[in-house]
Chains A and B, each alone.
Chain A
Amino acid sequence: MGHVATYIDAIVEAQREEMRRDERVFVMGEDVGIYGGVFKATKGLKDEFGFYRCLDTPISESLIVGAGIGAALMGMRPISEIQFADFIHGAHDQIVNQAAKIFYRTGGTWACPLVIRVPYGGDVGGGMYHSQSVEAWYVHVPGLKIVCPGTPRDAKGLLKAAVRDNNPVLYFEHKKLYRTIKEEIPDDDYVTPIGPAEVRREGRHVTMIAFGLMLQRVLKVAERLSGEGIEAEVIDLRTLLPMDKNTIIESAKKTGKVVVVHEAPKTGGVGGEIASIVAEQAFEYLDGPIVRVCGLDIPHPFHPKMEEFYLPSVERIYEETKKLVEY
């Protein structure tokens, strides 16, 4: 049995179910309580669980994360919401120097079971401070786990997994996906494991790797290529840290051609890491250069035409992939 849910429904459901399951789980962040979140991702939680379990905080990102860490140390299971990914940098010190390293520096005696929910991503007309994809800056930090669900089913399953994980998890939820996709998801309690990637479509001519909003565009491109007799294998990474290297490498060996698509700027992005993994582990199997289709190396522009130009479009992904297939 299942029910149809949007991506944001899945996020609300996951939090509600986890809060019912475990009274130590609580949400804190800007506007999460009375208002139910600026995106309504915490809608109804204050009414059901009370003021302190869906807690409106002052505008203090470092506090939102840092107090979450402190509560986690003392046995709670906090979910700290950063209203927009662009605001997360105020908490950078807490995430990188505290959350990620507590278990390590206490010799494995004190864990940090904290979830940081981070709405991120473009194609929402938000301009440069409401659209950035900042995941790569945190992929560089051992001790963190990072997930980027690309479907409603995974949005719920991965959030539940994050709440139950004993480590700090950055949960990047894509704002564009909130209400633009829906699918049937199970009614019962299920968890999507953190770590494994999911092969969304099997193919033999080219491997396409993506996550978040770009997964949806890549799936469209794969459909179109299929009509032309080109079968693309589509890997949804889902978890960026730790990364499912095995699935990437096996697929690269199988198809010999790899395209990585993400919306963050190309330079220093996750795509570079994936390209290196493929080059290190599957070089002899490659039949062409590893291609990255990414956001441009500029601040995220506002005007709809410029934003469209900035983000990897279905057309751009299609053309770059076609070129590689024909290489």
Chain B
Amino acid sequence: MAKKDTGDTAVKEPVEAATLGGPYRDSFKLTPKRKEQLRGLYRVMRLTRDIDDRMRKLFRQGRYYGTYFSQIGQECTTTVPAFLAEKDDFIGPSHRELGCMVGKGVPTKYLFAQVYTKSTSQDRGVMHPVFFGWTDVRQITPCTCLATQVPLATGAALSYKMRGIKNVAFCFTGEGATSKGDFHESLNFCGIHRLPLVYTIQNNWYAESVPLEIQSGNPNQEQRAEGYGIEGVRVSDGNDAIWMLCVYEEAIERARNGGGPTLIMADTYRWYGHSEIDPATYRPDDELKRWMALDPIPRFEAYLLENKVMTSDEMNAIKAEIQAEIEDAVKFAEDSPESPAEVCLENVYAPDDFVNPLSEFDKVVAKEI
């Protein structure tokens, strides 16, 4: 039986892979174009998982400083929207959004250079390992002061609307960051101006250690959308790649064509602690086990195989390719030199001749609400 399309509780029971698609299951047609898209998405999801897994292990081996925020178990909530995004679409991630980077096409070797804080990363090793970001694909590096990226995405969406640019701003937080004022101030503003923004609440049930029921008076946070006059959607199986794909396609289409923002709350689960130094002992014993059974990647793989989108040989070839890519990336990062300490003195101020992306002149076309 397919799971309910709006939910007020966690998905408790494992579901059959064939049920992927949620409420879209019957209308989702596997055209040749679709199949090609799903193969692309599969590669991104698999790559995200394998990079994440490798980064965790490398940290545990003491190969780099700091800590690591794994998103294993919740790949769909970042890879799907980032995979659908266009290059000039803004992405405002939080600290657990590796999938955004992979989905938007940031080269794997730079991701490893980043966690190793080496001179070959975008920030040349100045920032913490998890400060992934890549200006080329309009993805701002995360700021670990939660929800502060939300007004930024809102401002990017405002500028798109003002200038008549058909781009979309994506913003990601967990369910915990929705308690911050920046969330409210931004969504309220997006609602007023019907800005092209797609907001994702990745509900993994814990804000560090605090469970959703003592984070939010109404755990159905997508219902807040009504208060802002915007669309709100709950995906109660955020580990269902097909369901997520359909929801995001609708939200992006709405945003790109003047229909305004969408607030999506997708239920998922992080398998490990808040960071690698958190054993996550605050969670009930059997909870992780139940959610591991809902691992988004094998479910998606089973779907692709069952529906003959991919063969197991094709999948294995991709997996091998990914492993080789990761090995190269680890080698690139480990071989990269560290920056001299003096590099931290640079880039405090932008020079006069600096030009930001999309600074070319565009006529302001927005006239009124």
Contacts and interface: CB of A to CB of B under 8 A. Distances in A.
A, B in one complex: yes
A180 interface: no
A90 B189 contact: no
B179 to A, nearest CB: 14
B281 interface: no
B156 A70 contact: yes
A167 B317 CA distance: 48
Interface string A206-230: 0000000000000000000000000
B127 interface: yes
Interface in A255-290: none
A235 interface: no
A70 B152 contact: yes
B244 interface: no
B118 to A, nearest CB: 12
Contacts of B92: 70
Contact of B185 (A53, A60, A105, A145): A60
Interface in B142-171: 143, 145, 148-163, 169
Given A106-B141, A142-B348, A67 B356 contact: no
Interface in A1-34: 23-24, 26
Contacts of B366: 51-52
Interface stretch (B61-69, B290-298, B308-316, B357-365): B357-365
B1 interface: no
B356 A62 contact: no
Nearest to A145: B349
Given A74-B358, A98-B143, A103 B349 contact: yes
B122 interface: yes
B135 A62 contact: no
A304 interface: no
A62 B159 contact: no
Interface residues of B, number: 61
Contact of A63 (B90, B127, B185, B358): B185
A193 B126 CA distance: 30
Given A74-B90, A75-B359, A166-B351, A105 B151 contact: no
B148 A98 contact: yes
A58 B189 contact: yes
A177 B162 CA distance: 34
Contacts of B152: 66-67, 69-70, 73, 98
A103 B135 CA distance: 11
Number of chain A interface residues as a range: 35 or more
B204 interface: no
A107 B162 contact: no
A97 B151 contact: no
Interface in B190-212: 192
B352 interface: yes
Contacts of A67: 151-152, 154-155, 158, 186, 189
Interface string B175-195: 000000110011011001000
A143 B127 contact: no
A58 B192 contact: yes
B79 to A, nearest CB: 23
20 contacts: A23-B363, A24-B359, A26-B364, A50-B364, A52-B364, A52-B367, A58-B185, A63-B151, A66-B151, A70-B92, A94-B151, A97-B143, A98-B143, A104-B347, A105-B127, A105-B133, A106-B122, A109-B122, A110-B357, A112-B350
Closest CB pairs A-B (n = 4): A66-B151, A70-B155, A67-B155, A111-B350
Given A52-B162, A58-B188, 18 more contacts: A26-B162, A51-B367, A53-B364, A58-B185, A60-B185, A62-B185, A66-B151, A66-B186, A67-B151, A68-B155, A69-B151, A70-B90, A75-B362, A94-B182, A98-B152, A103-B348, A105-B143, A106-B122
